[in-house]
Structure 1
Amino acid sequence: METMKSMIPTVSTLIIFALSLAPLPCFAGDFLYLVLQWPGSYCSAKHGCCFPKNGKPANDFTIAGLWPCYLNATIPQFCNSHSHLNLAKASNLTKSLQVNWASLACPSNDGSNLWAHEWQQHGTCSGLNQVDYFESALRLKKQVNLLKTLNNAGIQPNGRFYETGAAVEETIRKAVGYMPGVWCNNDKSGNRQLYQVVVCGDVVGNRIIDCPGIPMGKGECAASIKFPPF
């Protein structure tokens, strides 16, 4: 993926090297990463997928994670090992989570293990309570409306290849207002395909904001990438 100078500030070689050793570094600010995932790319990868117990998810991007990022240039994880997800507190969100944050892991499950893991790993570092954390993710996803944005530009999950920067990234930038991060994975034949899209939200998850930096070390994309069906 082509480097975007507006998103990555100029720093010394030493700092770049140091940050490259940290897992998924960011560069500045106090914000949230919303990571959206195309289920067709998850399922067409070598590991395959299993549909949730409530059936095949809708033909739409799903939430892969909501990650807080802090001024120390890292994405903190597992900040409170004693805070376990209590789904009873978020029972009114269960149906929305099943639609928008579905688990495709095998064996088939109801998604509760995924949500509990995401809360433990990232939610406990967000400064939000459990309900607010999941509501923030759902609210930000709705603001992006990613599949509609791509479809309106003629970028559809039909197995065709699209230009990464000029088509996919630029289309999202025009709709959202800010440059996204685009990550890719491989299908079973080794083709690079649109996998995850990253946008940033303010620290309470009310609105999309300009990303101070996109995490490095994730799946780089080729000049053109496949958008597989689901």
Structure 2
Amino acid sequence: MKLNRSAIVNLLFISLFLSLHCFSLGQDFDFFYFVQQWPGSYCDTKNSCCYPTSGKPASDFGIHGLWPNYNDGSYPSNCDPDSAFDKSQISDLISSMEKNWPTLSCPSNDGTKFWTHEWIKHGTCSESELDQHEYFEAALKLKDKINLLKILNNAGIEADDGFYELDEIRKAIEEESGVSVGIECNVDSYGNSQLYQIYMCVDTSGSQFIQCPLLPRHRCGSSIQFPKF
């Protein structure tokens, strides 16, 4: 069967689109952002929060996620729609995740929705390096490596509703960890800038903290509140 020129061009275009699409789904990422959030700041907004069904989390930073990123500031997401979250694959990690990766969303729930979202959006984009169990285990191990709350407390920075210099918070973490960090703030109902999330960079194996190729740009006041929880 002979194809006219228009049909050939269309076939070439479709072939090129499919090849580029497949490549974009499978291409490697450059590093992870490991993000931890302060529950007091999460809850101290107009949206408030709900404690998980396992009870009120400890007054400690909790994991938000382990997010693959590219050096140009972009990031992959939802890379494998066929890779569903399977709680049975991480059954041995659940108790640790309830403690270190708690959900604060409403209505109160057991965290499965939160973990499912993190796996589908971010975890599936790391499958070239980590399977589902390895992905969640890696995040838990990273949290164990650097105790953010202890570092801040040792520097005299405590979750007491007081205000602290942003540079002092950053300096305390960077001096102890040896790597750069990014700090994200939120704003409470009174307009106070609060310590909300801390970003650290991790190599593609998900095991070692590294100097960040780039840090997300977030607006914070020069002096920010560290709210109680």
TM range (shorter): 0.7 to 0.9
**Does 2:176 correspond to 1:163?**
no
Q: Determine the structure 1 residue equivalent to 2:99.
A: 99
Aligned Cα root-mean-square deviation (Å): 1.1
Q: Determine the structure 2 residue equivalent to 1:22.
A: none
CA offsets, 1:164-192, max 9 Å, x none? 01x10000000110120000001121100
8 Å Cα contact 1:57-1:102 kept in structure 2:
yes
> What stretches of structure 2 of length at least 5 have no aligned partner?
1-28
**Does 2:122 correspond to 1:122?**
yes
Q: What is the CA–CA distance in structure 1 between the aligned matches of 2:73 and 2:183, rounded to whole Å?
A: 20
The 3-state SS of whatever aligns with 1:197 is strand
Q: What is the CA–CA distance in structure 2 between the aligned matches of 1:142 and 1:214, rounded to whole Å?
A: 22
Q: What is the CA–CA distance in structure 2 between the aligned matches of 1:215 and 1:126, rounded to whole Å?
A: 20
Q: What is the CA–CA distance in structure 2 between the aligned matches of 1:134 and 1:118, rounded to whole Å?
A: 10
Shift in Å, 1:71: 4.6
| Segments ≥4 residues shifted beyond 4 Å | none
Choose between structure 1 and 2: higher helix proportion: 2
**Does 2:199 correspond to 1:198?**
yes
Structure with larger Rg: 2
Shift in Å, 1:73: 3.8
**What letter corresponds to residue 166 of structure 2 in structure 1?**
T
Q: Determine the structure 1 residue equivalent to 2:228.
A: 229
The 3-state SS of whatever aligns with 1:90 is helix
Distance 1:76 1:160, change over 3 A: same
Q: What is the CA–CA distance in structure 2 between the aligned matches of 1:124 and 1:91, rounded to whole Å?
A: 19
Question: Percent same amino acid at aligned positions?
Answer: 49
**How many residue pairs end up in the alignment?**
199
Q: Determine the structure 1 residue equivalent to 2:37.
A: 37
8 Å Cα contact 1:30-1:68 kept in structure 2:
yes
> What stretches of structure 1 of length at least 5 have no aligned partner?
1-28
**What letter corresponds to residue 131 of structure 1 in structure 2?**
H
Q: Determine the structure 2 residue equivalent to 1:57.
A: 57
More deviation, 80-89/106-115: 80-89
Q: What is the CA–CA distance in structure 2 between the aligned matches of 1:49 and 1:200, rounded to whole Å?
A: 27
The 3-state SS of whatever aligns with 1:221 is coil
CA offsets, 1:190-220, max 9 Å, x none? 100000000011111111111110123xx41
Q: Determine the structure 2 residue equivalent to 1:86.
A: 86
TM-score, normalised to structure 2, is: 0.85
